[in-house]
A and B are shown apart, each in its own frame.
Chain A
Amino acid sequence: MSATPVRSDNPAALALAVRHRFRLAETLPWLLALAFYFAFPRYLGFGTELLITVLFAISLDLALGYAGIVTLGHAAFFGAGAYTVGMLAKHEIWTEPVSGLFIAAAVAGAVGFASGLVLLRTTGLTLLMLTLCTMGLLEEIANMAAEVTGGFDGLDSLPIKPLFGIFEFNPLYPYTQYLYVLGVLLVCFIFVRTLVYSPYGHSLTGMRENTLRMHAVGAPVRMRLIVCYTISAAIAGVAGALWAQANAYVNLSVLGLDRAATVLIVLVLGGYGRLYGGIIGAVAYMVLAHFLSKAYPTAWQLGLGLLLVAIALFARGGILGMVDNLTRPYKERKAQ
């Protein structure tokens, strides 16, 4: 392990180095997100929700797409973060938003670490059931401990302090929320991008593709999975905390199977294990859901079901996978 990597002229090494380099096109989603702020001031509430979904999907991508941990209970961490912020604010213990995110990340990360420590020994159906049951357990606890969590009704009118002491969070005009969430999302995205392109990130992909071989080459598989699960949980906790702060309430919906299934669908729709899959999937899903699910709830569900079946059978890479398939002939021609 030398401190400075030696640039080799080997084409494979060059390809690897180029693949991870920052490209100008990567600024596009962020510019669009900023443009949205100015173009659709009336839809900023929707935009905020969309950005939070993107963050949540990215956190799931880290565990599911990169490390290959098939989980149905990721909303447990979203809920842990949301309830942390919600309870601290409602009982007036901590109402400052930015530091609240760190507390939420720490709590959700701790839940992820503790559950990952025992859960990740298992695989397959057992793992699926354990993640599902852990989420169900948290949901029931949140429902039962009504004194602190508000039970079924949740906690509303959370007193969140202005951002940096200046910018008020106004639930009716969510200008602050939108930019705040966008900023946090950018920071988290850069973090995750760096992480998955690091040697650590590549070892995660290795474990997803062939656990046995990773064991054989001496990688500390379980420890890395636990660390990955913890980071993923912490980011999901940040997403949940943002949700609670932006809406100024929390309720049981942050913890349920609905939310866990939705984020899974979002990620798979965009394409998992691809970094941008969460962004594309969230935009596609949320826009469709926004216009269809209220007006035609049953048809929406039917369409969603058909879409999922189609993705599972024919388009495993999601939207980005399809784009890849369509552009591959062109790219190959260019390479020749």
Chain B
Amino acid sequence: MIVEIANMLLGGLAAGMVLFIVSVGLSVTMGLMGFVNLAHGGFAMIGGYVIVLAMNRLGVPFVPALLIGFIVTAAVSVVFERLLYQRLYRAPELDQVLFTIGLVFIMIATVTLAVGPETQPLTLPDSLQGQLNLGFMAYRTYSIVLIAIGVVIMLGLWLGFERTRMGAQIRAAVDNRRMAESLGINITRLFTITFAFGSGMAALGGGLGAEFLGLDPQYPLKYLVMFLIVVAVGGLGRITGVFYASLIIGVLDFTLKKYLPQGGTVFIYAMTIMLLLWRPQGLFGRPA
């Protein structure tokens, strides 16, 4: 019984950590600029492809490949942000939705043309394969590592958010952009940096999660709703909110898929609808 519950929790937490790593950037950028970015999953996909291709074709080890994925994706996203996104910050939502759906199509098509439509397999290094003995039970090493990475990233982000000047500026801008601007905070620069960092995180998530989320050109559309649900449930611009929301949804999804393979998704949709009706700002967001 305990083993079963632990199984559920560990598997769900590992999935939740990946959700968190991918979605955290989306939450912060949406909170900062109110920009509806449906292409965020696209950056996760680009990152995942860079990481997997670097490993499979160039023979780069796992950890350096993750770094390369982060840097390349962050760099690509800065180009997109400076050239395209920033023109639409004050545009109506519909234009933002259209623009980012268009961007998703472009990303999917480009990846299909450049790499091919098939799923890219991720081969984990030997040290991360197999089972880890936890004392009372054995569990997949990689899931445990994912949980550890997620916790470390969460702590790092929390410290960065709460204890650095940059983090304070972001928090100020999320709460009240105009006021922050009139205090002399350079919002444009702040946003570019946050956007790049968030996309880089998404890339990490794409690579780390490729093992069980899979990695194919349809990735950004397949998980779009999932990432959006996490952000909406967690509340915009709240790192801790996204963290808890990811874990809750990760564990729920994992458990439901195992015991209710048919109706699991229904439950998550229904829960999200109820929650957003009750608290439109999300579980951990502040009321507008």
A interface list, Cβ under 8 A from B: 64, 70, 72, 118, 121-122, 124-126, 128-130, 132-134, 136-137, 140-141, 143-144, 257, 261, 264-265, 268, 272, 298-299, 301-302, 304-313, 316
Given contacts A137-B270, A313-B88, contact A301 B105 (CB under 8 A): yes
Name A302's contact: one of B99, B113, B224 (CB within 8 Å): B113
A302-B105, A313-B84, A316-B95 given; 11 more Cβ-contact pairs under 8 Å? A64-B94, A118-B277, A125-B34, A130-B273, A133-B229, A137-B266, A141-B266, A257-B224, A264-B98, A302-B109, A305-B101
Given contacts A129-B232, A264-B98, A309-B99, contact A144 B225 (CB under 8 A): no
Q: Find out whether the CB atom of B272 lies under 8 angstroms from the CB atom of A133.
A: yes
| Distance to closest chain B CB from A104 (angstroms) | 23
Residue of chain A at shortest CB distance from B91: A312
- Answer whether residue B87 sits at the interface, using C-beta atoms and an 8 A cutoff: yes
Q: Which residues of A contact B281 (CB under 8 A)?
A: 126
Q: Which residues of B contact A141 (CB under 8 A)?
A: 266
Q: How many residues of B contact A (CB 8 A)?
A: 46
Residue of chain A at shortest CB distance from B265: A140
| Distance to closest chain B CB from A127 (angstroms) | 9
Name B106's contact: one of A121, A140, A305 (CB within 8 Å): A305
Q: Which residues of B contact A298 (CB under 8 A)?
A: 109, 112-113, 117
- Answer whether residue B144 sits at the interface, using C-beta atoms and an 8 A cutoff: no
Q: Which residues of A contact B112 (CB under 8 A)?
A: 298, 301
| Distance to closest chain B CB from A65 (angstroms) | 10
- Answer whether residue B269 sits at the interface, using C-beta atoms and an 8 A cutoff: yes
Q: Find out whether the CB atom of B94 lies under 8 angstroms from the CB atom of A70.
A: yes
| Distance to closest chain B CB from A90 (angstroms) | 21
Q: Find out whether the CB atom of B87 lies under 8 angstroms from the CB atom of A313.
A: yes
Q: Find out whether the CB atom of B273 lies under 8 angstroms from the CB atom of A137.
A: yes
Q: Which residues of B contact A130 (CB under 8 A)?
A: 273, 276-277
Residue of chain B at shortest CB distance from A134: B273
Given contacts A126-B232, A136-B269, contact A313 B225 (CB under 8 A): no
Give the top 5 A-B pairs by smallest Cβ distance, nearest first: A308-B102, A305-B105, A302-B109, A305-B106, A312-B99
* 21 A-B interface contacts by CB (under 8 A): A118-B277, A125-B236, A126-B276, A126-B281, A129-B229, A130-B277, A132-B228, A133-B272, A136-B225, A140-B269, A141-B266, A144-B263, A265-B98, A268-B94, A272-B94, A305-B103, A305-B105, A305-B106, A308-B99, A308-B102, A313-B87
| Distance to closest chain B CB from A27 (angstroms) | 31
Q: Find out whether the CB atom of A261 lies under 8 angstroms from the CB atom of B101.
A: yes
Q: Find out whether the CB atom of B277 lies under 8 angstroms from the CB atom of A304.
A: no
| Distance to closest chain A CB from B150 (angstroms) | 24
- Answer whether residue B30 sits at the interface, using C-beta atoms and an 8 A cutoff: yes
- In the bound assembly, the distance between CA atoms of A134 and B274 in angstroms comes to 11
Q: Find out whether the CB atom of A122 lies under 8 angstroms from the CB atom of B93.
A: no
Name A312's contact: one of B95, B105, B224, B276 (CB within 8 Å): B95
- In the bound assembly, the distance between CA atoms of A170 and B8 in angstroms comes to 52
- In the bound assembly, the distance between CA atoms of A305 and B101 in angstroms comes to 7
Q: Find out whether the CB atom of A308 lies under 8 angstroms from the CB atom of B273.
A: no
Q: Which residues of A contact B103 (CB under 8 A)?
A: 305, 309
Given contacts A128-B36, A129-B229, A140-B266, contact A301 B109 (CB under 8 A): yes
Residue of chain B at shortest CB distance from A258: B221
Q: Find out whether the CB atom of B102 lies under 8 angstroms from the CB atom of A125.
A: no
| Distance to closest chain B CB from A321 (angstroms) | 12
Given contacts A124-B93, A133-B269, A301-B109, contact A308 B98 (CB under 8 A): yes
Q: Find out whether the CB atom of A311 lies under 8 angstroms from the CB atom of B98.
A: yes
Q: Which residues of B contact A129 (CB under 8 A)?
A: 228-229, 232, 272, 276
